[in-house]
Amino acid sequence: MRGNRKPRVLIVNAYVCPWRSAAPTRLFIPRAMAPYYLAGRFCPERTEVRVHDEVHHGALLNPRLFDWPDLVVLTGLTMSFDRARQLSAYFRNARPDVAVAIGGPIARALPHLCDSVFDYVCQGDIEALDDIVDAALGPGHRADDPAPRFDLAGWSYGLGYVETTRNCNFSCAFCSLTGENRPYQPYSSREISRQLDAQGRMQMLMVLDNNFYGSNRSDFERRTDLLGAHWRRGDFRGWGALVTGDFFKNPDNLARVAANGCKALFSGVESLDPAVLKSFNKRQSLSSDPRTLARLCADHGVLFDYGMMLDFTQQTVAEIDGQIETLLASTDTPLPALLSLTIPILGTPYFDEAARAGRLMPNLRLSDLDGQKLVEWPKEPLERVVPFVADLLRFRGRKSALVRHAVSHVWSRKSSFDLSQSLISLLGPLIRFGGTVRVGNLRQIRQTWREPARTYCAMSDPLSVSYRPMHPLAEKFARDFEPLYVTDGDGKLTAEIRAGTADTGLTIQ
């Protein structure tokens, strides 16, 4: 089919939008960067590579793209398995000779199931793509000197991206990295500089690491000083990173990153309830009071951002409501960047425990595990919890308190922050919780309109319209549009999940 033309490669980040919108999500920071790192493994002269990120570009609904590639490389988060499978059906229906590869969290959580669906399944990091390039396209198509293809990412609000370490040195019970159990690995200074040199012009640099701090202080200092050297050279005006709670225990750490151009830090506070943190094996966050950390960071001119998880299996509505009200009443505490229900991510100790304790709801689908609906039996009756979740996740009834808080918080920090930090601090919570209008192309708008209303509870939430093929496909692809069920009607793990996850080193019963 190729003739003399260059092989065409399409890299797709499969995504299930928790808000049931097919339109692009352009305001999420950071962006998914794996597609651009993967693109860098192909020789730019001898292949034609395109990226479609379903988060940033919206749902892939353009039929003309389905018969374009010779090789499709899929990535995506664990809950996107169904979507990745649907996409593979569209590509194969359009071109029976296409090769479909998958890697990243889906392939690691469901290796056997992936083996039965995709042509190439890869559990390793981006380097592991090289063998697939050889196998699918033949020799001579790998990049000679691989570097991320940030040029394919387009304009991204002046943000650049870098990864200085992989994986994490902690083992929080709910985290997919704990399930994957791969070692924390720093990049060499040469590799980090290589990524930085591959960026176009940028204003701010976002460090993508799960934990920029890590387990080795001198290595943290090496990476901080390296970023500082690039910052002093004028490559960017500042940088931001994700750190764990232990970072803040040594005051020198904050002073060091600030002196080297750090302008924003994100830390997973996760819960204001110590008992919940202990149950998550998240002891490093026990002293992560967002108010204290925000003040500490502001003293160094650093913006503090954090994520919070709501766990209705351990907390009551009154407790969570009280915590949100306290945050809204406290001008000097920022609101969380992320408010999500605890997700029993496939392959984690938390998932295992939830399954064993019978907490998973019946007929649970993998795609339900999006953090924006109840998927575990709550401590209190559903009639009390579900309406509360529905209101809280949209800040219904709290919109004016939200605006008041955003404005007064920024005002209280005006002497610590520059204009861009103040704008991020002001707009961040309004966009996250106030709601935004997302505009896509006509197909995406139509698909969004056809989506049924969400119910915020897995037991009643209807299936997304993406499970109905958007155009007629050969009969053999019908199976690719069936949802993957995690539990059966009794709340027990399905045979498919038990078989699909076997030999991953996990302890699912």
By three-state DSSP, how is residue 9 classified? strand
User: What is the smallest separation between the CB atom of 475 and ligand B12, expressed in angstroms?
Assistant: 29
Nearer to ligand B12 by Cβ, of 100 and 298: the residue is 100
Residue among 17 and 277 whose Cβ is closer to ligand SF4 = 277
- Is the CB of 121 or the CB of 177 nearer to ligand SF4? 177
Residues 297, 265: contact at Cβ < 8 Å? yes
The binder of 170, among ligand SF4, ligand B12, none, by C-beta within 5 to 8 A per type, is: ligand SF4
Burial of residue 218, with CB atoms counted within 10 A of its CB: 0-12 exposed, 13-18 middle, 19 or more buried: exposed
Please provide residue 466's backbone torsions phi and psi, each rounded to the nearest 5 degrees: -65, -15
Residue 264 site contact among ligand B12, ligand SF4, none (CB < 5 to 8 Å, cut-off depends on kind): none
What are phi and psi for residue 391, nearest 5 degrees?
-75, -45
What does 293 interact with, of ligand SF4, ligand B12, none (CB < 5 to 8 A by kind)?
none
d(CA 428, CA 417): 15
Least spacing, CB of residue 394 vs ligand B12, in Å: 15
Under 8 Å between Cβ of 152 and 36: yes
Q: Are 150 and 196 a contacting pair, CB within 8 Å?
A: no
Residue 244 binding result from ligand B12, ligand SF4, none, given CB thresholds of 5 to 8 Å by partner type: ligand SF4
The residues that touch ligand SF4, with contacts defined as CB under 6 A, are: 168, 170-172, 175, 177-178, 210-211, 244, 268
By C-beta, is 53 or 235 nearer to ligand B12? Answer: 53
Q: How far is the CB of 172 from ligand B12 (least distance, A)?
A: 8
8 Å CB contact between 347 and 180: yes
Minimum Å gap between C-beta 215 and ligand SF4 is: 11
Out of ligand SF4, ligand B12, none, what residue 178 binds, judged by CB under 5 to 8 A for its kind, is ligand SF4
Q: Provide the minimum distance between the beta carbon of 299 and ligand SF4 in the complex, in angstroms, as a whole number.
A: 24
- Residue sitting closest to ligand B12 (CB): 103
Rounded to a whole number of angstroms, the minimum distance from the CB of residue 170 to ligand SF4 is: 4
Residue 28 contact partner, candidates ligand B12, ligand SF4, none, CB within 5 to 8 A by sort of partner? ligand B12
| Binds 164: which of ligand B12, ligand SF4, none (CB < 5-8 Å by kind) | none
Which two three-digit tokens encode residue 491? 């709340």
**DSSP states of 137-206:** H-TT-B-SS----GGGG---TTEEEE--EES-S---TT-HHHHHT---EEPPHHHHHHHHHT--S-SEEE
Minimum distance from CB of 91 to ligand B12 (Å)? Answer: 15
Nearest to 307 by CA among 273, 271, 351, 278: 271
Q: Is 495 exposed, middle or buried (0-12, 13-18, 19+ CB in 10 A)?
A: exposed
Q: Which positions lie near ligand B12, rule CB under 6 A?
A: 13, 15-16, 18, 28, 30-34, 37-38, 55, 73, 75-80, 101, 103-105, 122, 124-126, 128-129, 163, 166, 175-177, 208-210, 340, 343, 345, 370-371
Long-range contacts, 287-290 (Cβ 8 Å, 24+): 287/245, 287/248, 287/249, 288/245, 288/248, 290/327, 290/333, 290/334, 290/336
The torsion angles phi and psi of 76, rounded to 5 degrees, stand at 155, 165
Q: 37 or 213: whose CB is closer to ligand SF4?
A: 213
